[in-house]
Structure 1
Amino acid sequence: MSHPVPNEPTPHVSSATVAGSSPSPAQDPERYWLENVYQGGARQLTVRAVISGMLIGGVMCLSNLYVILKMGWSMGVTITSCILAYTVFSVLRQLKLLRTEFTPLENNAMGSVASAAGYMTGGGNMIAVPAVLMLTGVLPSSGWLILWFTVVAMLGVFAAIPIKRQLINIEALPFPTGTATAETINALHGHGEVARQKSRLLGLAGLIGAVIAVARDARSAWMEVRFPEWLRLPWLPAEWSLPFTLRGRPAGDWTLAIQPSLLLVGAGALMSWKTGWSMLLGAVLTYGFLAPAMADPSVGAITVISYKGINGWMLWTGAAVLITSGLLSFALEWRSVVRSFRSLSGLFGKKEEAPVDPLAGIECPPAWFPMGFAILGPIVVVLMAYLFKIPLWAGIIALPLAVLMGIIASRVTGETDNTPTKALGPVTQFIYGGMVPGNITANLMAANATGGVGLHSADLLTDLKSGWLLGANPRQQFFAQLFGVVAGALVVVPAFHLIIDDPKLLGSKDFPAPASLVWAGVAEMLSKGLSSLHPTARVSAACGAVLGIALVLLERLAPKRLKPFIPSASGFGLAIVLPASNSFSFFIGAATAEVLRRFKPKLSEAAVLPVGSGFIAGESLMGIAIAMLKALKFMPK
């Protein structure tokens, strides 16, 4: 969804594949669904589905917290959560601890809870908050942030109500991740061997990822003393520098190194091949050529040879590529935007007398939308004013803007599987940069509000697409989403405060937080003006802006045979603000997955998703556990 790379593989799966034959154009799609697909009597939002979804979603939220601070985006959690839940409940059933089967619709409801919880790192939450901490050094207390995250996310859930039936029931937008989730649930519950294979691969990859994290991050004298020699791991270094020098400095000083990280390799396997090689190209050009040139004493743009020193200058180039390419890509989806406005006008237009609604007892009542905003909207405005010093009038303007962004983001997600948070966030930053100039916190947290509403609206609709294909009750999925939102907020805020106990950790090689660096850079630039930048940084930002536009236009206009050779703007831009070592690992994962796709397609289909997800989950969860132990002084830093 809202990421520079796809968060989950989304193979094309038609509605007919999951739910049976599609209705003919002459049939009412809603009545057809009610009569042929809907499974009203099946167990769905059960207590165990809610509890397991909150627990798994909380774990996935911790994983995504580590991932977003490392890489700048959240990974997809829905399919991984469904595989985990199926595995856990199958084991409990075999041990005779459960008497009833965990049904596909229970798994779907569990996925809605887990998805809402796992994505509490997205929507600007763990982009804007670290950016505020970088720039100001202070944040509201955990309790206030939990309330802020929860209310903003709930606004997004309510924003999905008035457009759900139009986008999913009537227009049948693909929502590829939602469709793939329905296919995965069917495969898990319908083919035992497929499910067992995916579960084994996911578990084994997770274990390997966890061992790698321990061997790299947990080394200390404490471990050496308390473990016998035969139990001690062969400790891994933080990285291996490439064997050459640049300007008399080891390659590793320029971040040209290989990291022992399967998390990054796994993430690379889940991205596209184009994004993978684009990141390699961007890293080599940035850290192998441009950075050394800018460090020349005659130029003096980069004075400290370290990741933070290089990134302080390079950020403006990468941010310009990411922002202009994101905005242009979003603008080129103008048809989706126009259709969003038409849908919006239809919500408030004159209604003709309609026949009895066959789905009135299943769908969320339209009145829930204004009721939700009437209750939650004032809370958001007051929190903006109290926590972030945003004037009341500016907070009130944020509400309709957030609804509009949510509707646009939902349609774009339904049509492209990409939630444009990275485009909508800077748009809000520029708007608030003009409305409340100089207020950095207002700039960032207003973007957090619109991004959060957009993400959670799109996330609920993606889950509802799965439910539509499987015959689930949409009203129960709505409540499932609310449970997940609360669980995610309760997990992500304390965990962030615990592992980031010093603002200086943000923007370091340990936690590069590239998306936060971009948002912080935009906020600072809007506050101080372009004149505050080094002259060479202004030139590089202009070049980056042109490059971002050029890459998007080339991707659109180039002949089909040339498109595979045009770099991905998002991948190239991201490589500029990440350490080169990260991009190298992404490339290794993407290249491995591409080789499997070309030469072993069946193995690729069976293994890439569970193994990649397992590497990410295992290493990130162990990594965040070690970081917490160090923060709590149970393990030396």
Structure 2
Amino acid sequence: MNDVASRAAAGEPETLRSAAASEDPERRWLEEVYQRGAVQLTVRAVIVGMFLGAVMCLSNLYVVLKTGWSLGVTLTACILAYAIFRGLGVLRVSRRDFSMLENNAASSVASAAGYMTGGGNMAAVPALFVLTGIRPDTWSLVVWFAVIGALGVFVAIPLKRQLVNIDKLPFPTGMATAETIRALHEHEGGEGNKKAQLLLSAAGLGAVIAWLRDAKATWMPFNVPAHIGLPFKLRGVEAAKWSLTLDGSLILMGVGALMTFKTGWSLLLGGMLNYAVLAPAMVERGVIETVSYKAIVQYTLWPGAAILVSSSVLSFAFQWRSIARSFSGITAIFRKSKGPADAAPDPVAEVECPSWWFPAGFLLLAPVVVFLMGALFQIPWWAGLIALPLTLVTGVVGGRMTGETDITPTKAVGPLTQLVFGAMLPGNMVANIMGANVTGGVGLHASDLLTDLKCGYLLGGNPRQQFVAQLFGLVAGAAVVVPAYNLLIPTADIIGSADFPAPSVMVWAGVSKALSSGLGGLQPAARVALVVGFALGIGLTLLERWAPARVKPWIPSPNAIGISMVIPGANAIAMFTGGVIAEILRRRKPALAERTVVPISSGFIAGESLMGIAIAILVAIGVLSK
């Protein structure tokens, strides 16, 4: 007997049930969307999700150190999970179909692992290494990342029902993932297979190019050039020394293709202004002593960081309605409603995470966070306690803003947290950096789980099982990202080089240095650059918000301008190139672009980044030379 029939037999009239469902969105979801008894969190979904999450985490690590962007992994993960089980089915290794909800569970695991590079993790820890030489041992750092991520997951529990079930915030990435999973599984063997083939073919091409470019050994027949210099000079110096070259990286083109066209051309504009106008002028004045990327970026870091921080904080402030609603959500977490509503049975209690999981998880993990802050980074226990309510604020605010805009405000929340710790512990750069890592990590992982839960909500999944899936992903991501980071960055001088510009690291380090040590220690030219960059970030943000609609597309993106002052000019050129190709395709062949841009770009990124890590391993064991 099915569920509807059993309740009818128990004497509940259909009309009464329909009326109750129409008045209660949660009951309506439970009766009309929820897939009761459907297979979801299976062992194979967890294993594949952890594997894909680890792969995406490695890819994201490489991309973050190259470009400063941390890319979404859920769309790529659900396509790859589908492809894996289609292949296993053809080979008759797997005899049971891989369901939509299993794919959703696997994507949740992969997402939690892939985002282990975000939330300040791969900005704060390298920044700490650059500024202080402090580098926690591998397992301590694994535990640090996993605990921060888990705290974010528990913070998401009391937010889910309000933001997803009741307010029905869009969470655009969650909606896109749900639509992708539906398309893959409802058109079995058609569009899904084509996307998977495109992704894997592009990954193979990216891997081959990375090998031919970066694998150095006497037995290698040849290497393709990493850069091709542009045929002109600036102030008598070749363009290549100003970092203005054509870069032989498909990663950068893939990243550019996944951006908006506005971001792409803003990167090119900022890169040209930075390396063809500002840097030569500063060299002529003696502010920049030598013409090299590393020497230039030591100065241009300051206006770039100011643009990023001021524009992010102002954009964050413009979302004051979301922030106000978020704070009302914080009070709701600790407030129990009373009255007749409490007497009615909770329609989704059987599938939602029990309300007591949040306080239990918070009480369990909070002391661990405070202990690790003291043991690993010598942050006073009282400062650690102050960080805990900030994590709740960033989790709640980040969750709502991600739901409404698809942007998690880590760039804005990080500097605000650094400002708090700078005031509490002036001169303590370690506390400044790692305190912001805690709040940024919690906000990101809470927002990531809520995005995944939106996808599950649309597909009729079980949120309690998705919560558990997220924890598996955190373990996989933390266990993979730390050893890989140690392998890629054996010494601090690699960070900020042309090979690994790590712009987010440089910005995090610059902000930490300024907020903890004061601006008085900076050169006068750097202080002027900070003021100009701060004003430019505010001005561009105000123009983006208030300019006439016909003008807005031509206003440069402040985030892109800020990043362009920290990455090599070659990176800006390559990302713009990828963006132009994708934009032409979107305008002339929109249906073709819809089918090809994401899988091909994701394949380029995954293939080249994973081969880059493989080459680093071969160099470490002596098979290849540097």
Query: TM-score w.r.t. structure 2 length?
Result: 0.95
Q: CA deviation at 1:222?
A: 3.9
1:68 aligned residue: 64
Q: CA-to-partner distance for each residue in 1:419-465, whole Å, 9 max, x for gaps? A: 01111111111110111111111111110000000000000000000
Residue 279 (structure 2) pairs with residue 291 (structure 1): yes
Residue 248 (structure 2) pairs with residue 260 (structure 1): yes
1:426 aligned residue: 415
1:153 counterpart (128, 134, 149): 149
Q: CA deviation at 1:40?
A: 1.6
| Matched residue count | 605
Q: How does 1:346-495 map to 2 (within 5 A)?
A: 346-352=332-338, 353-495=342-484
Q: Distance in 2 between matches of 1:97 and 1:337?
A: 50
2:586 counterpart (597, 607, 617): 597
1:48 counterpart (33, 44, 52): 44
Q: Distance in 1 between matches of 2:20 and 2:430?
A: 52
2:214 aligned residue: 217
Q: CA deviation at 1:332?
A: 0.4
Q: Distance in 2 between matches of 1:632 and 1:271?
A: 36
**Segment drifting more, 403-412 vs 627-636:** 627-636
Q: CA deviation at 1:99?
A: 1.2
Q: CA-to-partner distance for each residue in 1:188-219, whole Å, 9 max, x for gaps? A: 00113110110111011111111110111113
Q: CA deviation at 1:288?
A: 0.4
What are structure 1's unaligned runs of at least 5 residues? 1-22, 225-233
Q: Is the 8 A contact 2:21 2:28 kept in 1?
A: no
Q: Is the 8 A contact 1:118 1:488 kept in 2?
A: yes
Q: Secondary structure at the match of 1:577?
A: coil
Q: Is the 8 A contact 1:222 1:636 kept in 2?
A: no
1:305 counterpart (274, 279, 291): 291
Residue 119 (structure 2) pairs with residue 130 (structure 1): no
Q: Which amino acid aligns with 2:76?
A: T
2:598 aligned residue: 609
Q: CA deviation at 1:599?
A: 0.7
Q: Distance in 2 between matches of 1:439 and 1:412?
A: 31
Q: Distance in 1 between matches of 2:293 and 2:239?
A: 12
1:333 aligned residue: 319
Q: Distance in 1 between matches of 2:270 and 2:620?
A: 34
2:179 aligned residue: 183
Q: CA deviation at 1:354?
A: 4.0
Q: Distance in 2 between matches of 1:306 and 1:221?
A: 29
Q: Distance in 2 between matches of 1:26 and 1:106?
A: 29
Q: CA deviation at 1:598?
A: 0.7
Q: Which amino acid aligns with 1:217?
A: D
Q: How does 1:474-623 map to 2 (within 5 A)?
A: 474-623=463-612
Q: Is the 8 A contact 1:206 1:615 kept in 2?
A: yes
2:270 counterpart (282, 299, 302): 282
Q: Is the 8 A contact 2:57 2:117 kept in 1?
A: yes
1:3 aligned residue: none
**Segment drifting more, 283-292 vs 187-196:** 187-196
Q: Distance in 2 between matches of 1:159 and 1:587?
A: 38
1:99 aligned residue: 95
Q: Secondary structure at the match of 1:387?
A: helix
User: Cα 1:128–1:354, aligned 2, differ >3 Å: closer, same or farther?
Assistant: farther
Q: Secondary structure at the match of 1:258?
A: strand
2:205 aligned residue: 208
Q: CA deviation at 1:403?
A: 0.8
Q: CA deviation at 1:137?
A: 1.6
Q: CA deviation at 1:540?
A: 1.1
Q: Secondary structure at the match of 2:23?
A: coil
Q: CA deviation at 1:305?
A: 1.0
User: Cα 1:289–1:389, aligned 2, differ >3 Å: closer, same or farther?
Assistant: same
Q: Distance in 2 between matches of 1:303 and 1:348?
A: 57
Q: Distance in 2 between matches of 1:26 and 1:544?
A: 53
Q: CA deviation at 1:632?
A: 2.8
Q: Secondary structure at the match of 1:295?
A: helix
Q: CA deviation at 1:474?
A: 0.1
Q: Is the 8 A contact 2:228 2:246 kept in 1?
A: yes
Q: CA-to-partner distance for each residue in 1:368-398, whole Å, 9 max, x for gaps? A: 1110011100000000011111100000010
1:344 aligned residue: 330
Q: Secondary structure at the match of 2:269?
A: helix
Residue 314 (structure 2) pairs with residue 318 (structure 1): no
Q: CA deviation at 1:530?
A: 1.1
Q: CA deviation at 1:24?
A: 12
Q: CA deviation at 1:526?
A: 2.1
Q: Distance in 1 between matches of 2:343 and 2:548?
A: 48
Q: CA deviation at 1:25?
A: 10
Q: Distance in 2 between matches of 1:39 and 1:62?
A: 34
Q: CA deviation at 1:255?
A: 0.4
2:105 counterpart (98, 106, 109): 109
Q: Is the 8 A contact 2:20 2:27 kept in 1?
A: no
User: Cα 1:504–1:222, aligned 2, differ >3 Å: closer, same or farther?
Assistant: farther
Q: Which amino acid aligns with 2:252?
A: L
Q: CA deviation at 1:221?
A: 1.6
Q: CA deviation at 1:26?
A: 5.0
2:3 aligned residue: none
Q: Is the 8 A contact 2:303 2:533 kept in 1?
A: yes
Residue 81 (structure 2) pairs with residue 85 (structure 1): yes
2:231 counterpart (243, 250, 253): 243
Q: CA-to-partner distance for each residue in 1:157-176, whole Å, 9 max, x for gaps? A: 00000110000000000000
Q: Secondary structure at the match of 1:240?
A: strand
Q: CA-to-partner distance for each residue in 1:556-604, whole Å, 9 max, x for gaps? A: 1000000010000111111011100000011001111111111111111
1:38 aligned residue: 34
User: Cα 1:369–1:248, aligned 2, differ >3 Å: closer, same or farther?
Assistant: same
Q: CA-to-partner distance for each residue in 1:601-626, whole Å, 9 max, x for gaps? A: 11110100101101111111111111
Q: Secondary structure at the match of 2:499?
A: coil
Q: Is the 8 A contact 2:148 2:441 kept in 1?
A: yes
Q: CA deviation at 1:98?
A: 0.9
Q: Which amino acid aligns with 1:202?
A: L
User: Cα 1:24–1:503, aligned 2, differ >3 Å: closer, same or farther?
Assistant: farther
Q: Secondary structure at the match of 2:622?
A: coil
Q: Which amino acid aligns with 1:215?
A: L
Q: Distance in 2 between matches of 1:387 and 1:84?
A: 37
Q: How does 1:621-632 map to 2 (within 5 A)?
A: 621-632=610-621
Q: Distance in 1 between matches of 2:268 and 2:203?
A: 26
Q: Distance in 2 between matches of 1:313 and 1:127?
A: 19
What are structure 2's unaligned runs of at least 5 residues? 1-18
Q: Is the 8 A contact 2:216 2:624 kept in 1?
A: no
Q: Is the 8 A contact 1:301 1:534 kept in 2?
A: no
